[in-house]
Amino acid sequence: MPCMIIAGGQWGDEGKGKIVAYLALTDRPKIIARAGVGPNAGHTVNYKGRTFGLRQIPSGFVYEGARLLIGPGVLVNPEVVLKELEMTGTANRFGVDRRCAVIEPAHIEQDTKSEYLQGKIGTTGTGCGPANVARVSRTAKLAEEVPELKPFLADVPAELNEAIDHGSLVFVEGSQGFGLSLIHGTYPYVTSKDTTASTLAADVGVGPTKVDEVMLVFKAYTSRVGLGPFPTEISQEKAEELGIVEFGTVTGRRRRIGLFDFALAKRAVMINGATQLTLTNLDRMFKGAAKVRRWRDLPSDAKDYVDKIEKELGVPVTIISTGSEVEDVIDLRSEKL
């Protein structure tokens, strides 16, 4: 499988960062390219006793053999990029496409001061929406115009396609989730562009015929940051009774919690063309599942829950996350041992 896209199937916060990190360490891709909107999405990686909250650098940085790229369809905040390069120590294997549009201070100011975006939509305030408007208006600054980024400029589509053509494994790491897609999500409570697998491929310059696998990531329940429809939402009190209290990586806002939404998941599977599913946070739903790394060691009710999701969605669950650490995973890609 030379090219795999990893995308979110709900409203973001599905745990894609941890999954990309695990897959990178296990499968050892040549390249990991970040797709999606920009620094308005945070991916968390817990590895070797450290917690990394990443908004621009691919989460698979933990595998030191991978080239790390940001595709031309992604917005970049140079300050965030440089900070994360220092934090991860990955400047020697990082590249940003020269065509990436840049988030400027004026975009952030516009985002945070917009009464409509803040009050009605619940924007993250990172400037992504206004920056995308600038791009559509043909007034955006590009990465090639930022002196601090010049050492890292790359032709990301050329690198990715060359690697794929030579049979090397590449990952495309998406951000946000299906329900936040500008086209397919709960408009107007959405992000500023499409977030499905087709657009993630376009973000990094890979054509649809070169994508072999689409890994769609779901939580065992559902969560959402900010405003907007949430059909399966439960009260904060009920969530606390279940022991589920979460906060957004970028905004720090408390996440709303709900039951697994099968209708949303089925549509996400259809539109993303999912070939594999990841189920995260199973340990939150079934306490006996915490840190389990073998299918046979899961409690029977947890197994039944996974089987139900697999049957309802019609796509195999191949990865199950059972804890916060990168290694807390049941990998079913060979067989259910």
For the question of residue 194 being annotated catalytic, the response is no
Tell me: the pLDDT tens digits for 46-68? 888 899 989 999 999 999 999 99
Residue 268: which of 195, 188, 173, 175 has the closest Cα?
195
Tell me: the pLDDT tens digits for 126-160? 899 999 999 999 999 999 999 999 999 999 999 99
Catalytic residue among 13, 194, 261, 283: 13
83 vs 116, residue with greater confidence: 83
Q: Are 201 and 236 in contact (CB under 8 A)?
A: no
Catalytic residue among 43, 97, 107, 111: 43
Q: Which long-range contacts (CB under 8 A, 24 or more apart) does 235-243 make?
A: 242/284, 242/285, 243/284
Tell me: the pLDDT tens digits for 61-98? 999 999 999 999 999 999 999 999 999 999 999 999 99
For the question of residue 13 being annotated catalytic, the response is yes
Three-state secondary structure call for residue 120: helix
CATH of 3-331, one of 3.60.40.10, 3.40.640.10, 3.40.47.10, 3.40.440.10: 3.40.440.10
Domain residue extents for the chain:
3-331
Q: Once rounded to an integer, what is the mean pLDDT over residues 103-121?
A: 76
Q: Where are the beta strands (DSSP E) in 148-253?
A: 153-154, 170-173, 213-219, 222-224
